[in-house]
Structure 1
Amino acid sequence: MWLVLGLLALLQLGAMARAPSMWVPELVTLRLAAGDSVSLEPLAPAAIQRSASGRWLLAADPARAPAPVLLRPGRAAESLSSMPLAADHLALPGGNRVARLPAPEGSVAFSFAGSAWLYDGALLLRNGAPQAACPDARWSARLAAWWNQHMPAPLAVARALSLGGSLHCGNRIGIADALPDAAAITRASDGSLRITDLEHAPRALDGVQAIAFGAMRLQLGAGAQGDTLVMHPQRRTPQFSAPGVELPAQVAWRWQVRALWPGRPGGALQAAFLLVLAVAAAAGAGAAYMRTRQPQAPRARAFAWAAHAVCAAALLAGGLLAIALQRLGQPVAAAPSLLLAALALASWLAAPGARTSANGCAMLLLAVGLLLQLELGLGGGDLRYFQKTTALLATGLGTLALWRLAPAPWRAAAGTPRGVELALLALAALALAALAAQVLWGDETGVFDLQPVELAKLALSAMTAHCLALRFAWHNGPQYSTVLARWLALAAPVLLFLALLALALVQVDDYSPLILLLLWAAGIVLAYTCASGQRFAAALMVAAAGAAACAVGALQNGGAAALPSSFYADRFQVWLAPGEHPHTGQQVLRAAGAIAQGGLAGADSSFGLRSAGLPAGAASGIPAVQDDFAPAFFLNRHGLLAGLALWLLQAAFLAALLWQALRAHQQACAARAYQQAWAARFRCFALCGGAAFVAGHLLLSWSTNLAILPVMGQPMSFLSAGGSHLLFFLLPLLGLSAASNEE
Structure 2
Amino acid sequence: MKAWRPLAALALAGLCALQLLALLRTPVAWMPSRVTLTLARGAALELDSAMLGAARGSAPQLRLRRDLDGAWWLARSGAGSGFLALERDGVQRRSGSALLAAGQRFQLGAAAFTIDALDGRGATFSSQGTRWHYDGAMLLRDGALQASCPDARLGTRVAAAWNRIVPAPLTLARPLVFGGNLDCGNRIAVAGLAAPAATIARARDGLVLAAGADTLAPLLLAERDAATPPAPLAGREQRLDDAAALVTGRTRLLVERNGDLLHLQPASHVALYGDTQVRLAPGVGWEWTRRGLWQLPERAGVPAAIAAAALLGTAALLCAGRRRHRLRDLVPALTGAALAGCGLGLLWLQRSTGGPGTLPGAGISLLVAWGALWLALWAPRRLPLALGAGVLLLAVGLLAQLELGLGAPESSWLRYFQKTAAALALGVGGGAMLLALRPPRHGAPLPQARIEALLVLLAGAALAALLVQVVFGDETGVFDLQPVEFAKLALAALSAHCLALAAGAQPAPGSLWMRSLRLATPALLFMALLGVALVQVDDYSPLVLLGVWGGAMALAHALATRQRLAAVLLVAGAGGAVLAVAALRGAGPGEIAQWNFYADRFLVWLDPGTHPHTGQQLLLGARAVAEGGWRGADHLFGLAALGQDAGPARHIPAVQDDFAPSFFLNRHGLAAALGLWLLQAAFVGGLLAVALRCWQAQAGTRDFRRAWLARFRCFLLCGGAAFVSGHLLLSWGTNLAIFPVMGQPMSFLSAGGSHLLFFICPLLALTAASAQSLEET
TM-score scaled by length of structure 1? 0.91
Shift in Å, 1:63: 5.5
Does 2:471 match 1:440? yes
Shift in Å, 1:160: 1.4
Q: Partner of 1:558: helix, strand, or coil?
A: coil
* Aligned twin of 1:204: 239
Counterpart AA for 2:17: L
Give the distance between the partners of 2:145 and 2:443, measured in 1 at CA.
57
Shift in Å, 1:424: 2.1
**What pairs with 1:300-315 in structure 2 (closer than 5 Å)?**
302-303=326-327, 305-315=329-339
* Aligned twin of 2:348: 324
* Aligned twin of 2:223: none
Match of 2:522 among 479, 483, 493: 493
Does 2:86 match 1:55? no
Give the distance between the partners of 1:341 and 1:171, measured in 2 at CA.
47
Q: Which segment drifts farther, 657-666 or 47-56?
A: 47-56
Does 2:405 match 1:377? yes
* Aligned twin of 2:47: 39
**What pairs with 1:670-689 in structure 2 (closer than 5 Å)?**
670-689=700-719
* Aligned twin of 2:220: none
Give the distance between the partners of 2:622 and 2:240, measured in 1 at CA.
44
**What pairs with 1:4-83 in structure 2 (closer than 5 Å)?**
4-35=11-42, 36-42=44-50, 43-44=53-54, 45-46=59-60, 47=62, 48-60=64-76, 66-73=82-89, 75-83=90-98
* Aligned twin of 1:456: 487
CA contact (8 A) 2:330 2:436 kept: no
CA contact (8 A) 1:280 1:343 kept: no
Shift in Å, 1:278: 11
**What pairs with 1:28-427 in structure 2 (closer than 5 Å)?**
28-35=35-42, 36-42=44-50, 43-44=53-54, 45-46=59-60, 47=62, 48-60=64-76, 66-73=82-89, 75-94=90-109, 97-188=112-203, 190=204, 192-198=206-212, 199=234, 201-213=236-248, 215-220=250-255, 222-223=256-257, 226-262=259-295, 265-267=296-298, 269-273=299-303, 302-303=326-327, 305-328=329-352, 329=354, 330-353=358-381, 355-381=383-409, 382-409=413-440, 416-427=447-458
Consecutive aligned runs of 4 or more in structure 1 exceeding 6 Å deviation = 274-281, 410-414
Q: Partner of 2:764: helix, strand, or coil?
A: helix
**Closer, same or farther in 2 for the Cα pair 1:175/1:322, shift >3 Å?**
same
Counterpart AA for 1:175: V
CA contact (8 A) 1:124 1:131 kept: yes
Counterpart AA for 1:533: R
Give the distance between the partners of 1:687 and 1:80, measured in 2 at CA.
50
**What pairs with 1:586-735 in structure 2 (closer than 5 Å)?**
586-735=616-765
Match of 1:557 among 564, 572, 586: 586
> Residue deviations 1:700-731, cap 9 Å, x none?
11111111122423111000113111011111
* Aligned twin of 2:319: none
**Closer, same or farther in 2 for the Cα pair 1:718/1:657, shift >3 Å?**
same
Shift in Å, 1:628: 0.9
Percent identity for Structure 1 against Structure 2: 49
* Aligned twin of 2:224: none
**Closer, same or farther in 2 for the Cα pair 1:489/1:215, shift >3 Å?**
farther
Q: Partner of 2:41: helix, strand, or coil?
A: coil
Does 2:770 match 1:740? yes
CA contact (8 A) 2:309 2:341 kept: no
> Residue deviations 1:390-445, cap 9 Å, x none?
11111111111111111534997785533332222222222222222222221111
Does 2:564 match 1:535? yes
Q: Partner of 1:102: helix, strand, or coil?
A: strand
Counterpart AA for 2:83: A
Q: Partner of 2:109: helix, strand, or coil?
A: helix
Unaligned runs of 5+ in 1: 282-297
> Residue deviations 1:635-683, cap 9 Å, x none?
1111111100100110000000001111111112222111011101110
**Closer, same or farther in 2 for the Cα pair 1:537/1:525, shift >3 Å?**
same
Counterpart AA for 2:348: A
Shift in Å, 1:178: 4.0
TM-score scaled by length of structure 2? 0.88
Q: RMSD of the alignment, in Å? A: 2.5
Q: Partner of 2:400: helix, strand, or coil?
A: helix
* Aligned twin of 2:575: 546
Q: Partner of 1:229: helix, strand, or coil?
A: strand
CA contact (8 A) 2:101 2:118 kept: no
**Closer, same or farther in 2 for the Cα pair 1:214/1:439, shift >3 Å?**
farther
Give the distance between the partners of 2:20 and 2:242, measured in 1 at CA.
44
CA contact (8 A) 1:125 1:131 kept: yes
Unaligned runs of 5+ in 2: 1-7, 213-233, 312-322
Give the distance between the partners of 2:746 and 2:180, measured in 1 at CA.
41
Shift in Å, 1:306: 3.7
Give the distance between the partners of 1:443 and 1:172, measured in 2 at CA.
20
Q: Partner of 1:168: helix, strand, or coil?
A: coil
> Residue deviations 1:334-355, cap 9 Å, x none?
1111110011111222324572
CA contact (8 A) 1:106 1:191 kept: no
Aligned residues: 717
Give the distance between the partners of 2:748 and 2:525, measured in 1 at CA.
25
Counterpart AA for 2:134: Y
Shift in Å, 1:362: 0.3
Counterpart AA for 1:171: N
